[in-house]
Amino acid sequence: MSTGTGTGTALAVRGLTVRYRETVALEDVTLDVGAGQACGLVGMNGSGKSTLFRTVVGLVRAQAGSVEVLGGSVAQARARGAVGYVPQQDDLDRDFPVSVRDVVLMGRYHRMGPTRRARPDDDRAVAEALARVGLEGLAGRQIGRLSGGQRQRVLLARALAQEARLLLLDEPFTGLDVMSQAAVTEVLREIVDAGGSVLVSTHDLSVLPDLCSRSVLLHHRVLAAGPTADVLTPANLARTFGLDPATGRVPTRGGGSR
């Protein structure tokens, strides 16, 4: 099933189909993220974006299709810590008794010894990651005592400390203050410039042209894919967000959750 991918491909998804009981979450989804490329994944809530991420990292089993990460299997990529997954900050228990530094250090666990004791290398990587997202002064703060945007930056810092080569970000811009949004965008751009690859899901179209050279519109299947400017047409967006193409209005607001 797997087609050969060139050396320049960080993520190759081919014909991916995922069903939960009778519900089809993804159907025959094919997409590529090239090395050193940022790709936007656009779709409304419940369109299968999160399922796609969860399948790529091996949390959900696909009924059909294949996923290739950095030229190998998902399991191989995970074992090397080559894939970074940045969840929405809302997914975390903000009362959990850990500090910012503790969380970022978790990005290094797979390279540490069995007790996960931090070595000077790890401390350096954590400090550097925190500086890059502009949180160097908050390392000792418990994660519940941050704003939502700061928490999102902590999770991004964890992926930086991990030194992942492919980064998957699930709605990282949702509910961010302007400063945090700028910081996240800037860091993602730096990652891409340094040869890293990014797949970022969003329903905030304003960040796409600046950040992502390519975009994929998803509503259980791929509706459109290509250079961002070509993809973001009114007709495509209307189909993606379930708008009536004739009126541009929302017919019914489906309350599907992720």
Partner 1 sequence: MSTVSTVSALSAEALGALPGLVGLVDVVTAPGGPGTADASAWWQVLVEPWQYGFMRRALLVTVVASVVSALLSCWLVLIGWSLMGDAVSHAVLPGVVLAYLVGAPFAVGAVVFGVGAVALIGAVRDTTRLKEDTAIGVVFTTVFAVGVVLVSTTPSQVDLTHILFGNVLGVSDADIVQVLVLAAATGITLVVLRRDITLYAFDRVHAHVVGLPVRRTGALLLGLLAVTVVVALQAVGVVLAVAMVITPGATAFLLTDRIGRMLVVAPVLAAVAAVVGTWGSYALDVGSAGLVVVCQGLLFAAAYVVSRVRTRAVA
Neighbours of 67 (CB within 10 A): 20
38-42 and 64-69 beta bridge pairing: unpaired
Binding segment toward partner 1, per CB under 8 A, in 102-110, 177-185, 217-225, 241-249:
102-110
181 contacts 149 by C-beta, under 8 angstroms? yes
| Residue 211 backbone zone (phi > 0: left; psi -120 to 50: alpha; other: beta) | alpha
- Pick from 73, 99, 147, 174 the residue near partner 1 by CB under 8 A: 99
Contact of 73 with 154, CB cutoff 8 Å? no
119 binds partner 1 (CB under 8 A): no
Q: To the nearest whole angstrom, how small is the minimum distance from the Cβ of residue 56 to partner 1?
A: 10
Nearer to partner 1, 54 or 132 (CB): 54
**How far is 211 from 135, CA to CA, in rounded Å?**
22
- 93 counts as binding partner 1 under rule CB under 8 A: yes
When the beta carbons of 92 and 127 are compared against partner 1, the nearer one is: 92
Q: What angle do CA 15, 54, 243 make, to 5 degrees?
A: 70
How far is 17 from 27, CA to CA, in rounded Å? 4
The residue count of the chain comes to 258
Smallest distance from partner 1 to CB 163, Å: 11
85 binds partner 1, rule: CB under 8 A: yes
Sequence-ordered list of residues with C-beta below 8 angstroms from that of 196, at least 6 positions apart, any chain? 36, 164, 165, 166, 167
Q: Looking at residues 135 to 164 of the shown chain, list those that interact with partner 1 (rule: CB under 8 A).
A: 142, 144, 158, 162
Total residues binding partner 1 (CB under 8 A):
33
Taking CB under 8 A as the rule, which mask of x and - marks residues 31-60 in contact with partner 1?
Answer: --------------------------xxx-
Q: Are 166 and 196 in contact (CB under 8 A)?
A: yes
Region of 166 please: left (phi>0), alpha (psi -120 to 50) or beta: beta
Binding region for partner 1 (CB under 8 A) out of 60-68, 87-95, 174-182, 213-221: 87-95
By CB under 8 A, tell whether 9 contacts partner 1.
no
Least Cβ distance, residue 34 to partner 1 (angstroms): 21
Applying CB under 8 A, does 64 fall inside the site for partner 1?
no
97 binds partner 1 (CB under 8 A): yes
What count of other Cβ atoms lies within 10 Å of the Cβ of residue 231? 21
* For partner 1, the closer CB: 83 or 207: 83
Q: Which residues bind partner 1 (CB under 8 A)?
A: 57-59, 78-81, 83-85, 87, 91-93, 95-99, 102-103, 106-107, 109-110, 114-117, 142, 144, 158, 162
